[in-house]
Structure 1
Amino acid sequence: MEMTLIHNERTKLTGNYLNGIAIAIFAVGTFNPLVASIGAEGPGIATAITSVICFLASLALHLASRRILKGLMS
């Protein structure tokens, strides 16, 4: 029983860590550049491509986090 609790806590910490990185990548690489370009003429092509790449990386990390959390034991 105790090993199951330890495994679950470690699994949750790993999932939360990955999801935190996903949120940071989204905020810094996607959200911030797009908001910063609102007052300008719009995002340049480099900013748009970087934002899309960061969004996809963030999504991939979030989905990996969800997959890890599926490993929780009852």
Structure 2
Amino acid sequence: MSLIHNERTKLLANALDRASTACLTVGVFAPIAAALYSATSSISATPVFIVGAVCWIFTAVVLHISARHILRRLQ
């Protein structure tokens, strides 16, 4: 029974870690790439990018730490 429990725990932790990677990609890297490769640049949107990036990074860190915390349940 503990083997099944361990595999389910690892599956959940991996899902949360993948979600944290997706948050980082979608919320930080994609807007940076869009700003770098955009034909029109808007300096006035910079604070919006910064606030959004900080929120997405925070979300990614929380998900990653949650995944690490869940791994402590391994038997």
RMSD, aligned α-carbons = 1.5
Structure having the higher helix fraction is 2
Look up the match of 1:21.
19
Q: TM-score, normalised by structure 1?
A: 0.85
Gaps of 5+ in 1: none
Gaps of 5+ in 2: none
Q: State the Cα distance separating 1:70 from its structure 2 match.
A: 1.1
Moved >3 Å (runs of 4+): 38-43
Deviates more, 1:56-65 or 1:30-39: 30-39
1:7-66 residue CA offsets vs partner (Å, 9 max, x unmatched): 000000000000111000000001121233235466611011001100010000000000
- Is the contact made by 1:22 and 1:59 (CA closer than 8 Å) also made in structure 2? yes
Look up the match of 2:36.
38
Look up the match of 1:61.
63
| Structure 2: distance between partners of 1:35 and 1:71 | 38
Look up the match of 2:54.
52
Q: TM-score, normalised by structure 2?
A: 0.84
Higher RCO (C-alpha under 8 Å, 6+ residues apart): 2
| Structure 2: distance between partners of 1:56 and 1:33 | 16
